[in-house]
A and B are shown apart, each in its own frame.
Chain A
């Protein structure tokens, strides 16, 4: 299969700390590629470098063969690289629907439309509706984020991402702070959306990662220590040592 999204030799240092050290990833179209590793492994820094929130020191990012390394965040979104945030950051004073509509209008290039009423942008409303439908939030679309449960808020982040019609959707710990049932809901959702976009998933829950990923990359201290399909990763002694074992010990 063609690689949809390619990261080559990415570096990012903060002073003497190599937060991301020579990381390469190859994400195939329609795949769920997961990134795991203990806290401080550099996963979020990598996310920030890929999505234009940080400038990498070295390395390249290609989307469908095009070099998109130096583009600012908002342009990357237009190219099709869309992210969610680790800490939910939806727009608090807008309803769930308005949050998604904002993204849908942005995708349709209406950000500089001055004269139409925002509420009259039909196509965007329909796209937003569809995104909310896909994630199962349509019945709660009129609620504001503060009226939504924690799980629903995370799902709303995904809906906003989908409304931007991404080539690759980067999800930063979508199940953080969730109950088991909610985690399963997100896991199903991630698997389900992989037929419309590639997914790069940062996740702590190893069970989720092993069950829904096509490929897993394991990072510690800024480096990739293993890469491969779930079966291979779960058997890798180095990975067990560095990460999987540690999770079992610290499990709550």
Chain B
């Protein structure tokens, strides 16, 4: 029977895509449950603390993925979003209130303000120029944190940041702080997933592909870059807030360029443009670093080597490969 190929293809296509979406949601829900269940599976306190740090880096890496993966803006200074927030939240928690929501709000607003100011300049640029200027701005913030001792504690950083409180109750370190982090990660993931699938999110893909073409369909390229930069920094701010509570302090090293390099490598290894990939990258990074640093000093060499090999042989990262396998399990087209 010679049915029109379109009629034949379209409907099963749609239902296949639908079933893949459902399967994806089930998988995500299971992953979320697993993350939340970790403290109840008899994990050691050490493991819990390490995983807390990994999930914080996961939030931070997702925030960078918005720039690198979705908008094509490679930032070499993303430690700024995180490090700046550690100081904003830390200083607020030490002097005003350690309420988690308030501290997070302060850090997010402060990060957004700095992102806005930064963005006024950097959104004129793309490519290498963007990368270098973000690096410079981050180094400026690093210098300020070192020099302005009365406010930031200089090289010692902030010491003695209290534990956060949630609804007036102190969050205990370990399992409780872990759960707070896990919930933050899940909320950030869901919001950002929504964002990248929104009409706004799709304009970012257009900007990444070709800025002139994007402008020619009516997209205000600079404004969109500015907005995504602010959202990215705000998300980085959430990570910075959790980090300052985890470490009970802030340190200028959080603003150092090496941190910018680490988070960029984590995001690329994890798989840019996937959101979940960078989270996996972060978990991998934190645990491997923990294992390797105890074995030998030159662990950064092995990390660098792994990064080079990964960029050469799996440029789409862990997330990209996982997505490809997932697509093969739930093919969209019958072929």
Contacts and interface: CB of A to CB of B under 8 A. Distances in A.
Interface string B211-229: 0110111111100100100
Contact of A111 (B194, B203, B209, B216): B203
Interface string A51-89: 111000000000000000000111101100011010001
Contacts of B201: 114, 118
B215 A160 contact: no
Contacts, number: 91
Contacts of B203: 102, 106, 111
A114 B195 contact: yes
B221 A114 contact: no
Interface residues of A, number: 39
Contacts of B227: 112
A77 B216 contact: yes
A117 interface: yes
Interface residues of B, number: 27
A95 to B, nearest CB: 11
B197 interface: yes
B198 A115 contact: yes
Contact of A89 (B205, B213, B218, B224): B213
A105 interface: yes
A42 B124 CA distance: 28
Given A73-B216, A74-B215, A111-B220, A105 B199 contact: yes
Chain B CB within 10 Å, residue with most, of A83, A103, A112, A160? A112
A98 to B, nearest CB: 8
Given A83-B216, A106-B217, A91 B195 contact: no
B210 interface: yes
Contact of B200 (A77, A114, A142): A114
B199 A110 contact: yes
DSSP class of A's interface residues: helix, strand, loop or mixed?
loop
A142 B218 CA distance: 23
Contacts of B197: 117-119
A89 B224 CA distance: 20
Contact of B198 (A53, A78, A114, A142): A114
A106 B219 CA distance: 7
A139 B206 CA distance: 23
A174 to B, nearest CB: 15
Interface string A184-210: 000000000000000000000000000
Nearest to A119: B197
Nearest to B4: A139
Given A91-B206, A112-B200, A113-B199, A107 B216 contact: no
B213 A91 contact: yes
Contact of B218 (A94, A106, A113, A117): A106
A118 B216 contact: no
B194 A115 contact: yes
A241 interface: no
Given A91-B209, A94-B205, A102-B206, A113 B200 contact: yes
B199 A111 contact: yes
A117 B219 contact: no
A183 B201 CA distance: 36
B324 interface: no
Contacts of B217: 77, 102-103, 106, 160, 164
Given A110-B199, A116-B199, A139-B6, A91 B205 contact: yes
B202 interface: yes
A106 B200 CA distance: 9
B216 A82 contact: yes
A246 interface: no
Contacts of A90: 213
Given A91-B210, A114-B195, A119-B197, A102 B216 contact: no
Given A91-B209, A93-B205, A102-B206, A85 B198 contact: no
Interface string A164-175: 100000000000
Contacts of A82: 216
A9 interface: no
A92 interface: yes
A18 B9 CA distance: 55
The 4 closest A-B pairs by CB, nearest first: A77-B218, A110-B199, A73-B215, A106-B218
26 contacts: A51-B216, A53-B215, A72-B220, A73-B212, A74-B215, A74-B220, A77-B217, A91-B206, A91-B213, A94-B205, A98-B202, A102-B202, A105-B199, A110-B199, A111-B200, A111-B219, A111-B224, A112-B200, A113-B198, A114-B198, A114-B201, A116-B199, A118-B197, A118-B201, A118-B202, A119-B197
Given A74-B218, A116-B199, 14 more contacts: A52-B215, A75-B220, A78-B218, A85-B212, A89-B213, A91-B213, A102-B217, A105-B202, A106-B217, A111-B224, A114-B201, A118-B201, A119-B197, A142-B9
